[in-house]
């Protein structure tokens, strides 16, 4: 690694060490006062599970002040003065935090337990600008020449809304197709918390029949709303089948849209607009055919040069956009990529230009937290130049979660990091 990158890492570490309590404690315990090499940063990376290390009883019992302390232990700004006096559920807690400038991002994750990451307004701004930069790198300028279809579903989360609105404001033509008219999404965090609890209760056999029926009814209502949304967009696509449409969606929702079009008799080649797509993330546990992507591309007339696919995660502000020529993901200079062994406690050994192992990142633009993260992904990285001619490391497309390999996705330092958090919350 070049000296300027090490210098950037060290400067970023020094700033965050003075701000994030858990990082302070970890650095002190490891005796790390300065970053002089790649190896120095490894013990300071936070496992992705750290952001769901709160005791679940705090949410179940409505201990929102303690949830503030938990989140504050992982944040650059304290949350003790956030007013939670009127909070009755997770959505109310998130709203109270956002009112004070803490733009929390949440996810149910594959394990069911929700994770919460504190982000600043600056983090949201960087994330949005990065999206526009990725489009520009692909050759799609943010000009008002598209019909934009945000396939959904609508989570109501501030960050998701901001990205959706950015896409519409930056790319929509003046006579853009009408968006699906639905009431604002409500209760997303409450629903995801309930989903987590129901998954566990059903797994251990303690779920009451009435509770299961109530939950299934709510899930059915949400699914029906999403299907109405997709049918609305199917109507609009067929009315403009030769006009350019820019889709923003995850693959499971987009595949369902393709199914609806097929149910209406639409065949590959019937839609002729030079359509585009941006998508990130995996299948979130959805089972789709092996060729689901090819089916989407053929039906919606999307080709690689109009497809912004990227590798990222909610812990990062920046995206690694997929090279349309070579199908690999380019790592931006704002992200320092590290490939670790499976346990996450040391750098993996390279074989020539290639190195395989657990993905870890330091996003040096992350403002509301410490930007060093150990993921649950197994990746292969080419440390040489991409065959397309661009400089910098690239992540090959064979990304897989360790948990999907049937392995125990255990990161060595996870228990220690959780203990740090518990100690701070319990003080």
Note the pLDDT of residue 2. Answer: 47
The answer to whether residues 393 and 353 touch, using CB atoms and an 8 Å cutoff, is no
Residue 185 pLDDT: 66
Do residues 362 and 41 lie in contact, with contact meaning Cβ atoms separated by under 8 Å? yes
List every span in the chain annotated with CATH 3.40.50. 121-185+220-311
pLDDT of residue 414: 87
Helix H or strand E encompassing 381: strand 372-382
User: Does domain 121-185+220-311 match CATH 3.40.50?
Assistant: yes
Cβ count within 10 A of residue 24 = 17
DSSP H helical ranges for 240-301: 251-263, 292-300
Number of H helices, E strands in the chain: 13, 14
Q: State residue 284's pLDDT score.
A: 62
pLDDT value of residue 191: 78
Helix boundaries (H) for 139-278: 158-171, 188-204, 209-239, 251-263
Q: Which residue(s) pair with 105 in the sheet? A: 117
In the block, residue with structure tokens 């990227």:
310
Distance CA 12, CA 121 (A): 18
Write down the H helix ranges in 18-48. 21-30, 38-41
Sequential pLDDT tens for the chain (427 residues): 444 899 999 999 999 999 999 999 999 999 999 999 999 999 999 999 999 999 888 988 999 999 999 999 999 999 988 999 999 999 999 999 999 999 998 876 545 578 899 999 999 999 999 999 999 988 999 999 999 999 877 777 788 888 999 999 999 999 999 999 877 666 777 777 777 778 778 888 898 898 889 888 988 988 899 999 999 999 999 999 999 999 998 889 999 999 999 999 999 999 999 999 998 666 666 789 999 999 999 999 999 889 999 999 999 999 999 998 899 999 999 999 999 999 999 999 999 999 999 999 999 999 999 999 999 999 999 999 999 999 899 999 999 989 888 766 789 998 899 888 888 776 5
């Amino acid at each position: 690694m070049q000296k300027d990158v090490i210098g950037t890492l060290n400067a970023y570490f020094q700033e965050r060490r003075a701000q994030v309590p858990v990082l302070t404690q970890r650095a002190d315990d490891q005796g790390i006062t300065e970053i002089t090499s790649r190896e120095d940063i490894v013990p300071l990376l936070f496992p992705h599970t750290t952001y769901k290390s709160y005791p679940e009883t705090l949410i179940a019992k409505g201990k929102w002040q303690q949830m503030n302390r938990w989140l504050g232990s992982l944040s650059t700004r304290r949350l003790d003065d956030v007013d939670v006096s009127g909070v009755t559920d997770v959505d109310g807690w998130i709203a109270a935090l956002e009112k004070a400038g803490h733009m929390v991002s949440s996810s149910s994750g594959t394990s069911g337990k929700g994770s919460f990451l504190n982000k600043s307004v600056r983090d949201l701004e960087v994330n949005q600008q990065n999206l526009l930069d990725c489009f520009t790198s692909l050759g799609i300028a943010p000009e008002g020449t598209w019909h934009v279809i945000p396939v959904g579903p609508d989570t109501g989360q501030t960050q998701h809304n901001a990205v959706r609105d950015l896409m519409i404001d930056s790319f929509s033509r003046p006579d853009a197709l009408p968006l699906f008219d639905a009431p604002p999404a409500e209760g997303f965090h409450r629903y995801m918390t309930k989903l987590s609890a129901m998954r566990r209760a059903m797994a251990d056999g303690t779920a009451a029949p009435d509770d299961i029926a109530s939950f299934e009814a709510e899930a059915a209502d949400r699914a029906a709303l999403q299907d109405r949304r997709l049918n609305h967009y199917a109507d609009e696509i067929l009315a403009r089948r030769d006009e350019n449409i820019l889709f923003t969606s995850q693959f499971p929702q987009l595949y369902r849209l393709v199914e609806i079009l097929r149910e209406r008799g639409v065949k590959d080649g019937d839609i002729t607009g030079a359509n585009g797509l941006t998508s990130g993330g995996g299948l979130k546990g959805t089972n789709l055919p092996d060729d689901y992507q090819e089916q989407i591309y053929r039906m919606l007339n999307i080709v690689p040069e109009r497809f912004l696919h990227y590798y990222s995660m909610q812990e990062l502000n920046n995206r690694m956009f997929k090279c349309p020529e070579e199908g690999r993901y380019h790592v931006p200079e704002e992200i320092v990529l590290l490939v670790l062994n499976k346990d996450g406690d040391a750098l993996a050994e390279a074989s020539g230009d290639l190195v395989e192992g657990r993905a870890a990142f330091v996003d040096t633009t992350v403002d509301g937290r410490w930007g060093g993260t150990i993921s649950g992904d197994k990746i292969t990285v080419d440390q040489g130049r991409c065959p397309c001619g661009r400089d910098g490391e690239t992540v090959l497309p064979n990304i897989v979660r360790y948990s999907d390999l049937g392995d125990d996705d255990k990161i060595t330092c996870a228990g220690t990091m959780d203990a740090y958090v518990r100690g701070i919350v319990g003080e």
